[in-house]
Structure 1
Amino acid sequence: MLTVLEPESLYPDTALEQRIMGDGVRILTGSAKKSLMELPDELCAEVEGLMTLRLAVPAEALAKFPKLKVVIRMGVGYDRVDRAECARRGIAVCNVPDYGTQEVADTAIALTVALRRGLVLHHDAQRQDPPAAWGVIQNPIVRRFDVQTFGVLGLGRIGTAAALRAKALGFKVAFYDPALPNGADRAIGVQRLDSLEALMAASDVLSIHCPLTRNTRGLVGAKELALLPKNAVVINTARGPILDVDALEAGLRSGHIAAAGLDVLPVEPPVDPIPNLLRAYRAKEPWLMGRLVIMPHVAFHSPEAWDDIRLKSAETMRDVLVRGLKTNVIPPEGD
C-alpha cells in the first residue's frame, strides 16, 4: 500500500482524496504549521507522496522522507520546492497549473481598474480628516483604458486570462514570453514583443505573470522600470522576488511610476527589516495616497478555487504516484 501525506490538514477530512486515489493508497494528515521539520520522523519515514500548499520543501526536509517518490505543490508556483535535490533523488515534482486562473487574472484586472479609474485615489482622499474637497482630483493615475497598452509579462494560463480581460476592457494588449511558441499571439489577438525591454517601453500598465525561477528572480529591476512610460502602473500577482520593490519605491517616489498593485512581496509574510515601501504604506505616508494597494498573497482565493486545489492535487497525485503518468510533472531542467 502506498502512503500519501497532507502535512497541513487543509481540509476537514480525506474522503475526496481517498475516493480519487483509491483503496491502494493510505492518506495521512499532519499538523505542521511552519515547517515540515515539525513532523515526527516515524511519520515521514512511511511517506511516498507529499502534498504541500504553504510549506517549503528544502533539502533538509526532504531528508526526512527516505521513501518519497512524488511532491505535489498544491498551487501554480513551485519555487518553494528544492527541485535540484528532488532531481538528484529521482523524486517527481508536480504543480497544479490549472486552478485559480480566473481568480488571479480577475485580481490583476481589479487592481488595474481600481488604480487607473481613481477608486483608490478618491477612496483615500475621502477618508482623510478632514476629507479632501468633494470632486475630481487631477492626477496622472487616471487614464482612459483604450489609450493605454496593457503589458503582460508571461503569457501562461493566468497571463492569457488577464490579457483577454484587458482586451475586453478596451486596452491594447502586448506581451513578452520567450518560452511561448510562435502563434500564441495570433490565437488570442494580442501583440507579441521580442524583448523585455520592448515590453517595458510599451506598457502603460505592466502586469507580471511569469513563474519564479533562477532566470526570473529580480527580472524587473530599476533599469527595466525606468523604461516604462511615465506614469505607468505596475501590477504583480505572480511572485514577489520577480520585482525589485526597492526599485519600485524609487520609481513611485520620483513620480515616474504613477501607482502599483501588489499581491506578493519578496518575503511572505513580511519580517523585519520590512521593505521601505511597505513601511511607508503602513504609515500612510501622504506621498503614497491613492497610489499603492498591497494584498497578502490572496489573489487566488475563492471557495471554488480551494475546491479546485483539493481536487486537482489529488488527481495529480493519483496520476503520478499510482498510475505512473507524467501529469503536471515539472522537468528538472525547466528553470
Structure 2
Amino acid sequence: MMPRVVYPEILDSDTALEADILTPHAQVSFNDVPLIADLDPALCRDADGLLVFRHHVTRADFDRFPKLSVLVRIGVGYDRIDMATAAERGILVCNVPDYGTTEIADHAMGLILALRRGLLLHHDLQRGASPAPWLLVETPLIDRLNVQTLGIIGLGRIGTALAMRAKAFGLRVVFYDPYVPNGVDLALGIERARALPDLLRVANVLSLNCLLSHETRGMIGAAELAQLPRGAVIVNTARGVVMDIEALEAAMRAGHVAGAGLDVIPVEPPVEPLPGLLRAYREREDWLTGRLIVTPHVAYYSAPANRDIRVKAAETMVAALQGSPQNVVLPARRHGRD
C-alpha cells in the first residue's frame, strides 16, 4: 500500500505542483484547517507523512498520528514542532533550509540601508503637514556605511549571504556563531567574534540570523543592548523571541539604539495588548519617526521562493518516505527503522 501524506494547510490554491511530485509515491490529502486538531481523525490515523508550514505541532497533535514516520517543516525553523515528542516517538523530522536565502539576505540588507541612509525618516517627514521641511535631519541614525561594523549572529546560509552583501557596501563584517568551523572567516574575508559580548561591543549594526533554540531564546535583552555602541541599528529577520522587544523599546527611547528593522515579533500576528514599541509605531508617535520598520514576517517571500519551498518540501517528503532522507533535523530512532 502506498504511504499516506497529509497537508493541513494549502500554500497555494493550485496544489498541482505538490501533487505532481508526491502522487507517484504516496496518497496525498490537501486540507486547509486552522489547527492540526481540526483535521479529520481518519486522515490522522492513517497518515505516514505530515507537512506543516504555519501550524504548531504539539504532543497532543502527535497523539492523533499513531502511524506517523515523517514530518517535514515547510521552512527553515522548526521551533513550532514539539521536537522532544518527535524524538521520543522516533519520528523523522526534516526541514527546507535552502529556500528564500537570497530574499531574506536582501530584506535584511534593505532594512539596514533604509535605516542607515534615513530613507524612511525623510519619507515620513516629506508626507507630513505642509510645508514639509525640505532639509536634512541630523541624527545618529544616518551614517556612512564604510565606517560601520555589521555584527551577524548566526552564520548559516542567510547570515553568509548577508555578509557578502554587506561587504559589497563596504561594511566591516564580524560574526558570532559557535557552531561554524574554524577557517570560515578567512575563506569569506570576514571576522569571527569568539564570544557574544565581543561582537556586541563593535556592532554599529546588529543582524539576528540565528535559529530559535533554548540557547537563542531571549539572547538579546537589556544587558546585551547596552553593550552595543550608542546609535546602533538592529535588524531581526530570525525569530521575534530571540530579542526582548520591551528592552528594545527602552533602548530606543533612551537613544542608545537609533533604529530597528523587524520582520519578526514575539507574537505573530500581533494581538492586543500590543507591546509598547508596536503601539507607538502604529500610533505614529513622534519620537519613533523613521526609526522603526516592521514587516509581517515576509522576508522569505518572492514568487520564485514560494515555488522553491513547495517543490523542495514535497521532494524532501518523497526522499524520506523512500528511505533516503535529506535535510534531517531529527533522525528517526524507532525500532526496526534506519
TM bucket (normalised to shorter chain) is over 0.9
Give the aligned partner of residue 15 of structure 1: 16
> CA distance change for structure 1 residues 274 and 25 in 2, over 3 Å: closer, same or farther?
same
Distance 1:88 1:95 in 2: 18
Give the aligned partner of residue 118 of structure 2: 118
Residue identity in the other structure for 1:180: V
Give the aligned partner of residue 31 of structure 2: 30
Runs (5+) with no aligned partner, structure 2:
333-338
Give the aligned partner of residue 329 of structure 1: 328
Residue identity in the other structure for 1:236: N
Distance 2:162 2:224 in 1: 21
Determine whether 1:88 maps to 2:88. yes
Residue identity in the other structure for 1:136: L
Instruction: Write the deviation string for residues 15-57 of structure 1: whole angstroms up to 9, x where unpaired.
Output: 333433352311111121x211111211211111111111111
Q: Is the 8 A contact 1:83 1:332 kept in 2?
A: no
Q: Is the 8 A contact 2:155 2:180 kept in 1?
A: yes
> CA distance change for structure 1 residues 281 and 100 in 2, over 3 Å: closer, same or farther?
same
Residue identity in the other structure for 1:315: E
Give the aligned partner of residue 317 of structure 2: 317
Give the aligned partner of residue 201 of structure 1: 201
Residue identity in the other structure for 1:239: R
Distance 2:331 2:281 in 1: 39
Give the aligned partner of residue 335 of structure 2: none
Moved more, 52-61 or 253-262: 52-61
Give the aligned partner of residue 243 of structure 2: 243
Distance 1:235 1:307 in 2: 26
Residue identity in the other structure for 2:220: V
Residue identity in the other structure for 1:17: E
Give the aligned partner of residue 336 of structure 2: none
Residue identity in the other structure for 1:296: P
1:70-85 pair list within 5 angstroms: 70-85=70-85
1:23-172 pair list within 5 angstroms: 23-32=24-33, 34-172=34-172
> CA distance change for structure 1 residues 227 and 127 in 2, over 3 Å: closer, same or farther?
same
Distance 1:132 1:71 in 2: 55
Residue identity in the other structure for 1:64: R
1:170-181 pair list within 5 angstroms: 170-181=170-181
> CA distance change for structure 1 residues 131 and 171 in 2, over 3 Å: closer, same or farther?
farther
Instruction: Write the deviation string for residues 121-158 of structure 1: whole angstroms up to 9, x where unpaired.
Output: 10111112235410111111110000000110000000
- RCO (CA 8 Å, sep 6+): is it higher in 1 or 2? 2
- How much has 1:332 moved relative to structure 2? 6.7
Give the aligned partner of residue 272 of structure 1: 272
Instruction: Write the deviation string for residues 145-202 of structure 1: whole angstroms up to 9, x where unpaired.
Output: 0000011000000000001000001101000000111111111110011011011111
- How much has 1:13 moved relative to structure 2? 4.0
Instruction: Write the deviation string for residues 94-118 of structure 1: whole angstroms up to 9, x where unpaired.
Output: 1100000000000000000000001
Q: Is the 8 A contact 2:209 2:236 kept in 1?
A: yes
- How much has 1:226 moved relative to structure 2? 0.4
- How much has 1:6 moved relative to structure 2? 1.1
- How much has 1:10 moved relative to structure 2? 1.7
Residue identity in the other structure for 1:15: A
Residue identity in the other structure for 1:29: F
> CA distance change for structure 1 residues 43 and 253 in 2, over 3 Å: closer, same or farther?
same
How many residues in Structure 1 have an aligned counterpart in Structure 2?
331
**Normalising by the residue count of structure 2, what TM-score does the alignment of the two structures yield?**
0.95
Sequence identity (%): 53
Q: Is the 8 A contact 1:125 1:131 kept in 2?
A: no
SS in 1 for 2:146: helix
Q: Is the 8 A contact 2:22 2:28 kept in 1?
A: no
Give the RMSD, CA atoms, in angstroms. 1.3
Q: Is the 8 A contact 1:145 1:170 kept in 2?
A: yes
Residue identity in the other structure for 2:156: G
Distance 1:211 1:149 in 2: 22
> CA distance change for structure 1 residues 131 and 205 in 2, over 3 Å: closer, same or farther?
farther
Q: Is the 8 A contact 1:154 1:209 kept in 2?
A: yes
Q: Is the 8 A contact 2:231 2:258 kept in 1?
A: yes
Residue identity in the other structure for 2:304: E
Give the aligned partner of residue 253 of structure 1: 253
- How much has 1:230 moved relative to structure 2? 0.5
